[in-house]
Chain A
Amino acid sequence: KAGVTQTPRYLIKTRGQQVTLSCSPISGHRSVSWYQQTPGQGLQFLFEYFSETQRNKGNFPGRFSGRQFSNSRSEMNVSTLELGDSALYLCASSIDRNTEAFFGQGTRLTVV
């Protein structure tokens, strides 16, 4: 069974640009969550989606948004990129909202 797939693996963007990251969950998993990982702040929760609805949102500015499609695939978007948005963005999927989460390899975003 294929794991959680995140694309692209690496991105370099310029300040002020926007970026879209993609996540394909494990087949049959209906819940997708996103996390930001930085050396200073560690792993921080961004959002959780289930059945195409955002169920939880972390403490991030409105520049960070996401969505989930009917096939459970998810995207997150960051607009007006700032240097501080440079991070590893991790997507996790789970069968249901209260089951264990499996993580993808992440997308390394560098903002210059």
Chain B
Amino acid sequence: AQSVTQPDIHITVSEGASLELRCNYSYGATPYLFWYVQSPGQGLQLLLKYFSGDTLVQGIKGFEAEFKRSQSSFNLRKPSVHWSDAAEYFCAVGAREGGKLIFGQGTELSVKP
């Protein structure tokens, strides 16, 4: 079955510290991969995407993610977290031919001053 697992429900990091959010997926073929961020009461904002090519992708707000086919992972990283990064982060996979996105359960990020 197709699924996305975000093992960490909640993470707290100090402002200025580095961040890594984990994402593992189960999919029949290599899917398209995405990270979205959601602030309370808001919609989802696309942070970055992987379609093909370089397995390290850069996104907005200083985020990057690395696709590791052998580990079926697509972890999100940021070298220095800002207080404004506090939000919920969702990893998603989609079929290359299009259609629905399958989302993980989300990781809530809190940032300590």
Contact = CB atoms under 8 A, between A and B. Distances in A.
B99 A56 contact: yes
Interface residues of B, number: 25
Given A43-B90, A103-B43, A98 B100 contact: no
Contacts, number: 62
A101 B99 contact: no
A33 interface: yes
A37 B99 CA distance: 18
- Range class of the A interface residue count: 20 to 34
A104 B102 CA distance: 17
Given A97-B98, A98-B32, A42 B106 contact: yes
Contacts of B101: 33, 35, 43, 45, 92, 101
Interface of A: 4, 6, 31, 33, 35, 42-43, 45, 48, 50, 55-56, 58, 90, 92, 96-98, 100-106, 108
